[in-house]
């Protein structure tokens, strides 16, 4: 009887702690979401005004002043990206990330990637190709903006960590038997620095990067892959990594 009482007390204690953790997580997510919204309002004003200054339509600013305005605008955009990532992470954790699936034309996806990353490749002096395999469908049923967000995250990482060589996107189609059904596969390949095997799970954890010095050398928050993995799950897919 004493043992049973001890087990019951321990069980109650665990339940209470689980409830407390759940509440803490909920409050944190709500706080991050609210703070992100509050921060974006003044930041958008800052971006608009700094862009107006940088355009120098009145031609009454010096070259240095225009350069400073461009720096403010660029730094503001970086900050906005970080805020948006934190907001996305809080939505995912709170289970409130909206997904709006519809028919998405495959050529539209290819065109978006081409327009977004061709200038990046040319600027960094890297080869860039988009290949589509045989028999891929002309359209898929998914959330277009969320799919674009995942591809943008993966390709941005590929370009960020690749100093020479190439970055490629391959779109393939796997015919599968059983419950899984057919799958469209988006594969990003690069000749970058790579990820050691023991760190490949770590990169999907929030605020984590494979190397502690990565942030100082390459920048980034360590949120992109976490968000991408969760969005992929919401869309009924998975993200896998193969690197050395």
CA distance 162 to 151: 16
Element containing residue 168 per DSSP (H, E): strand 166-174
In the predicted structure, residue 112 carries a pLDDT above the cut 70: yes
Residue 203: closest CA among 174, 242, 146, 163:
242
Q: In the prediction, which pLDDT does 155 show?
A: 94
Residue 198 phi/psi, 5-degree rounding, is: -70, -10
Task: Give the model confidence (pLDDT) of 139-167 as tens digits.
Answer: 999 999 899 999 999 999 899 999 999 99
CA distance 94 to 30: 8
Which pLDDT band, with edges at 50, 70 and 90, does 97 fall under? confident
For residue 130, the cross-strand partners are: 169
Which pLDDT band, with edges at 50, 70 and 90, does 136 fall under? confident
In the predicted structure, residue 117 carries a pLDDT above the cut 90: yes
Q: Is-contact 203 209, C-beta < 8 A? A: yes
Q: For strand 127-132 and strand 166-174, is the pairing parallel, antiparallel, or unpaired?
A: parallel
Task: Give the model confidence (pLDDT) of 65-74 as tens digits.
Answer: 999 999 999 8
Which pLDDT band, with edges at 50, 70 and 90, does 212 fall under? low
In the predicted structure, residue 21 carries a pLDDT above the cut 90: no
- 241 CB burial (10 A radius; 0-12, 13-18, 19+): middle
CA distance 40 to 28: 18
Residue 182 phi/psi, 5-degree rounding, is: -80, 150
CA distances from 42 to 12, 37, 47, 50 (A): 46, 10, 9, 12
């Amino acid at each position: 009887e004493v043992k049973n009482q001890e087990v019951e007390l321990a069980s109650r204690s665990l339940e209470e702690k689980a409830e407390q953790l759940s509440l803490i997580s909920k409050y944190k997510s709500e706080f991050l979401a609210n703070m992100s919204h509050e921060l974006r309002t003044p930041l958008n004003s800052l971006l608009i005004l700094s862009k107006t200054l940088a355009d120098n339509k009145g031609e009454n600013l010096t070259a240095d002043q225009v350069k400073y305005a461009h720096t403010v605008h660029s730094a503001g955009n970086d900050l906005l990206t970080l805020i948006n990532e934190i907001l996305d992470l809080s939505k995912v954790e709170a289970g409130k990330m909206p997904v709006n699936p519809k028919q998405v034309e495959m050529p539209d996806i290819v065109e978006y990637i081409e327009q977004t990353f061709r200038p990046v490749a040319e600027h960094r002096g890297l080869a860039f190709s988009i290949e589509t395999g045989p028999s891929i469908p002309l359209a898929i049923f998914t959330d277009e903006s969320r799919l674009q967000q995942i591809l943008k995250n993966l390709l941005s990482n590929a370009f960020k960590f690749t100093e020479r060589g190439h970055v490629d996107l391959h779109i393939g189609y796997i015919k599968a038997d059983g419950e899984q059904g057919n799958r469209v596969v988006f594969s990003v390949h690069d000749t970058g620095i790579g990820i050691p095997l023991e760190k490949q799970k770590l990169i999907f954890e929030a605020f984590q990067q494979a190397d502690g010095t990565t942030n100082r050398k390459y920048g980034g928050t360590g949120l992109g892959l976490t968000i991408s993995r969760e969005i992929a799950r919401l869309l009924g897919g998975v993200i896998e990594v193969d690197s050395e």
